Structures are given as C-alpha cells and as structure tokens.
Amino acid sequence: MNELALRIAVMPGDGIGPEVMEAALLVLDAVQRRVGGFRLLLEPLEAGAAAYRRSGVALSEECFARAAAADAILFGAMGLPDVRLPDGREIAPQLDLRERLCLFAGVRPIRLLPGVPSALADPRAREIDLVILREQTEGLFAGRGRGLVTEERAEDRLVVTRPASERLFEFAFALARERKTRRGRARVDLVDKANVLGSMAFFRAIFLERAARYPEIEAGCRYVDATALDLVRRPWDLDVLVTENLMGDILSDLGAGLVGGMGFAPTADLGSGKGLFQPAHGSAPDIAGRGIANPTAMILSAAMMLEWLGRTRAVESCRIAAERIESAVERVYASGRIRPVELGGTSGTRAIAEAVAAELEAGPVDPLSPERRA
C-alpha cells in the first residue's frame, strides 16, 4: 500500500504548549486511523524557555535544521516571563523561526464556531468569518534586538521593504480569490497608519499598485485605530485584513477575544514551501499545569497544517483529514457537549481532545484507512 509519509517537526515548547500539543496529537492520531493515504512521522524537538534554562540555547542549530528539513512544523507555545535574555527580552524561538524560514504570511482566521458564545451581543456575531494576514518578517519587529537603548532614550525601527510588501499583498489577493470561490464574495483591506508614518504611506502605495492587478477583488485601505473600533462594532463586515507585523499581532488577539478567547484562534505561518502551525496564544503560564487550557486553537492549527500539506503536496487525503477535524470540532461545540474552562465551563484540555477524537471515530472510515485495511 502506497502511503505518503510526511515528516512533522513537533515543538511543544513551554507552559500550556505541551498540554495543547498532546491534545492535538490525539486528534491527529484519530484522524489518521479513519482517513488513509498519508502518514505523519512525528519528530519531537526540544526548544523554548525550558531548553534555554537548561542549556543556555532556546533553539539549537540542530533543532533548527531538523525543523527546517521537515514537511511542516507543529508548534505549541514558547517563552516564559521569568526566563529572559540578558537584555531583558523573553526568548522567542517562534520569531527566529519566522525570520529564518521566511514565514512572511501569518494567516489568522477569526471565526465564531457554532455553539460558542461571542463577546458581542449582536446576533450578527454568528457571521464573523475574517482573516487577519500579518506580515511577519519586518515591520516594527525588525527592530527586535537591534534597537538603541541608552540611559535617556530607546529606539526601535519599523522597516517596510518593497519585496516583502509585494509578496504579502500577492498572498492576500490569492487568499481572497480562494475565499471568493468558496464563499461567493471577498475583499481585502489594508490596515495601516498611513496618515502618520511615512513607512505606512509607502506600504499603502505598494498595496494600491498590487490591488490594481486584481480588479475582481474589492480592495480598500483603513487606519488601524478605526479598524480596532470596527472589529468590535461590525466584524461581520470584514474579510481579509492585511497588515504590518505588530498591528497584526495586536489585532489578532482582539479578534480571538470576539470568538471565545485565545483558545479558539489558530494560525498558519507560511513562506515559500514552508509552514509552521501554532495557536495564536502564548504559553499562558497563569493556567499551565492544570489541565484546563483550551486545545481548540491547537487542534484547528493542526487542521490548517493538513489542509496546507494537502494543497501544496497535492495529497487529497490530507485535505479530507483537515475537513474532518474542522467539522468534528464544529459538531462537538454545536452539540453543547463541551464547554471549555475558558468559557466558564468545566471541560479540560484532555476532555476536549477526547470529544473531538470520539466525533472523528464516529464518522466515516475511508477505503484507504488503516482500519479498513486491517
């Protein structure tokens, strides 16, 4: 039997990272038993604050090389507030991986799952289905570790380059085109601060040049402050929001807050041929070790990984597996069977993973699946 083997670098990290990773691996195991045609070869890698504390290195060169050589990277969360570099910053291998693997597109879907209450009372909140597309190789994060800090003054640089902006906007319009095929409509809005910063006016000019090449996709520009307001006031009207690194970082937490909390926001960090998949949340040390973290964002990130592998490697069974996970997650929430602690319920990390896995096991068994062949 010819099965495609895919190497997955598994980087659980710190805090709740290992807890939500274990949950996602349980679900990946369940889906592989039902859908055949591919096999995930998991390669656990140690990196993060704990690794830094032990060895003085947060992301070793060997670990980086193995992650870079894998077909995809599944990532939990890294960093702890009390583990700091000599200059006071937290260790952040996820940022190093983004920069070194050139994972320029941070794809952050914000969607309200059936059965999950929104922070907004308006019934139109059920229609929230937008994507924040965050530039991840420059912007204000380009100043990371390279700023000027003296006794009297501190400076960080905001960098916007033409090539990075062009590839980001190409990605945004391709994403919108794909969403238009699926949902019948799509628009791309650039989110910036072009009224104040020259770098943002430059960013906007490049966006408008690119937008002119996609007359079939509606495009617009909006300021980041007004966008924060509209994300709360009418998020159902927003579709693809493309933005600078730090602005995307902030707006995506706001977006997560609209759809249940950090435990509901998956992400895909994509570059040319490379993909890293992780929940939008951090290591959440305030709840780590208690088994109460919501693993839904991690599970949905694993589904995004399968969807991306399916698309980029032309493996239909991976795409099917991604859809199965997404619809199993939707069904368990819609049925009211689980309510995460994050939403005031009692369902812990393991219970949520087991509910999703059980839902998958109650679903169809594909002809190529290991169970059918057994």
Nearest partner of 349 among 18, 20, 17, judged by Cα: 20
State the minimum distance, in angstroms, from the CB of residue 283 to ligand ATP: 5
Query: Judged by CB under 6 A, which stretch of 37-45, 96-104, 116-124, 285-293 contacts ligand ATP?
Result: 285-293
| Interatomic CA distance for residues 356 and 341, integer angstroms | 16
Does position 283 interact with ligand ATP (CB under 6 A)? The reply is: yes
Nearest partner of 47 among 73, 24, 27, judged by Cα: 73
| Interatomic CA distance for residues 167 and 92, integer angstroms | 24
State the minimum distance, in angstroms, from the CB of residue 10 to ligand ATP: 17
Pick 143 or 370: Cβ nearer ligand ATP: 143
State the minimum distance, in angstroms, from the CB of residue 162 to ligand ATP: 29
Exposure string of 251-266, with b = 16+ CB inside 10 Å and e = fewer, is bbbbbbbbbbbbbbbb
Nearest partner of 251 among 271, 272, 224, judged by Cα: 224
Binding mask 62-91 for ligand ATP (x = CB under 6 A): -----------------x------------
Residue 352's SS3 state is helix
Residue nearest to ligand ATP (CB): 282
- Number of Cβ within 10 Å of residue 57's Cβ equals 14
Residue 88's SS3 state is coil
Query: Judged by CB under 6 A, which stretch of 117-125, 156-164, 232-240, 283-291 contacts ligand ATP?
Result: 283-291
State which of residues 244, 342, 354, 366 lies at the interface with ligand ATP (CB under 6 A): 342
Does position 282 interact with ligand ATP (CB under 6 A)? The reply is: yes
State which of residues 133, 262, 322, 329 lies at the interface with ligand ATP (CB under 6 A): 262
- Which residues sit at the interface with ligand ATP, rule CB under 6 A? 16, 20, 79, 261-263, 281-284, 286-287, 293-294, 297, 342
